[in-house]
Structure 1
Amino acid sequence: MSKPFVPLAEIHRGPCLESLHQGVVAVADASGALLLRRGDPDFVTFPRSSLKPFQAIALVESGAIDALGLTEAHIALACASHRAEGFQAAMVRDWLARLDLPETALVCGPDLPRGEADLGAVLLAGGGRSRVFHNCSGKHCGFLTLARRIGAPAAGYDDPAHPAQRLFLEAFSELVGRDAAALPRGTDGCGLPALALPVVDMARAAARFAAAAVASETRRAAIRRIQAAIRAHPDHLSGQDQPTSRIIRATEGRVLLKSGAEGFNLAFVPERGIGIAIKMADGGSRAKMAVLVAVLAELGLLARDAAPALIEAVEDPIRDSNGRSAGKLRITL
Structure 2
Amino acid sequence: MVRSGFREGVHRGSVVIVRPDGVLRHVRGNGRQVVLPRSSNKPFQVLGMLRCGLDLPDDTDLALGCGSHNGEPEHVARVRAILAKHGLSEADLRCPPDLPVHEASADAILAAGGKAEPVTMNCSGKHAAMLTTCVQRGWNTANYTDPSHPLQVTIRDTMADLGEEPITVTTVDGCGAPMFGLSLVGLARAFGKLVQGADGSHERRIADAMRANPFMVAGTGREDTRLMNAVPGLLSKAGAEGVYGAALPDGTAIAIKIDDGHQRARLPVMAGALRFLGAGTPELAELAEETILGGGRPVGSARLLPGVF
TM-score range, shorter chain: over 0.9
Q: CA deviation at 1:301?
A: 2.1
Quick check: 1:318–1:326 contact (8 Å CA) kept in 2? yes
Task: Call closer, same or farther: CA 1:326–1:233 in 2, change over 3 Å.
Answer: same
Aligned to 1:197, which of 179, 182, 193?
182
State whether structure 2 residue 25 is matched by structure 1 residue 52. Answer: no
Aligned to 2:220, which of 223, 237, 240?
240
1:4-83 matches, within 5 Å, as: 8-13=1-6, 18-66=8-56, 70-83=57-70
List gaps (5 residues or longer) in structure 2: none
Aligned to 1:3: none
1:298-313 matches, within 5 Å, as: 298-303=276-281, 307-312=284-289
Amino acid at match of 1:294: G
Aligned to 2:102, which of 112, 115, 131?
115
* Counterpart-to-counterpart distance in 2, 1:71 and 1:27: 32
* Counterpart-to-counterpart distance in 2, 1:159 and 1:237: 25
Aligned to 2:237, which of 258, 262, 273?
258
Aligned to 1:330: 303
* Counterpart-to-counterpart distance in 2, 1:311 and 1:161: 41
Quick check: 1:261–1:283 contact (8 Å CA) kept in 2? yes
TM-score calculated relative to the size of structure 1: 0.86
For residues 20-76 of structure 1, the C-alpha deviation after alignment (integer angstroms, 9 at most, x for no partner) is 11000001124331011111111221001111001111333455334xxx4111101
TM-score calculated relative to the size of structure 2: 0.92
SS in 2 for 1:20: strand
Aligned to 2:204: 224
Instruction: Identify which range, 283-292 or 55-64, moves more after superposition.
Output: 55-64
Task: Call closer, same or farther: CA 1:321–1:160 in 2, change over 3 Å.
Answer: closer
For residues 235-262 of structure 1, the C-alpha deviation after alignment (integer angstroms, 9 at most, x for no partner) is 111112422111111112x211001111
Percent identity between matched residues is 35
Q: CA deviation at 1:306?
A: 6.0
SS in 2 for 1:267: strand
Task: Call closer, same or farther: CA 1:306–1:238 in 2, change over 3 Å.
Answer: closer
Aligned to 1:321: 295
RMSD: 1.9
1:155-170 matches, within 5 Å, as: 155-170=142-157
For residues 170-220 of structure 1, the C-alpha deviation after alignment (integer angstroms, 9 at most, x for no partner) is 32232122343xx211110011111112211211222222322xxxx79x6
Quick check: 1:57–1:171 contact (8 Å CA) kept in 2? yes
Task: Call closer, same or farther: CA 1:108–1:319 in 2, change over 3 Å.
Answer: closer
Task: Call closer, same or farther: CA 1:105–1:300 in 2, change over 3 Å.
Answer: same
Q: Decide which structure has the larger Cα Rg and report it.
A: 1
Quick check: 2:34–2:181 contact (8 Å CA) kept in 1? yes
Q: CA deviation at 1:159?
A: 1.1
Aligned to 2:125: 138
Quick check: 1:29–1:208 contact (8 Å CA) kept in 2? no
Aligned to 1:211: 196
Quick check: 1:210–1:275 contact (8 Å CA) kept in 2? no
Q: CA deviation at 1:311?
A: 2.2
* Counterpart-to-counterpart distance in 2, 1:308 and 1:289: 11
Task: Call closer, same or farther: CA 1:273–1:154 in 2, change over 3 Å.
Answer: same
- Which ranges of 4 or more aligned residues in structure 1 deviate by more than 6 Å? none
Amino acid at match of 1:9: V
Task: Call closer, same or farther: CA 1:168–1:25 in 2, change over 3 Å.
Answer: same
Count of equivalent residues = 306
* Counterpart-to-counterpart distance in 1, 2:239 and 2:102: 18
Amino acid at match of 1:148: V
List gaps (5 residues or longer) in structure 1: 1-7
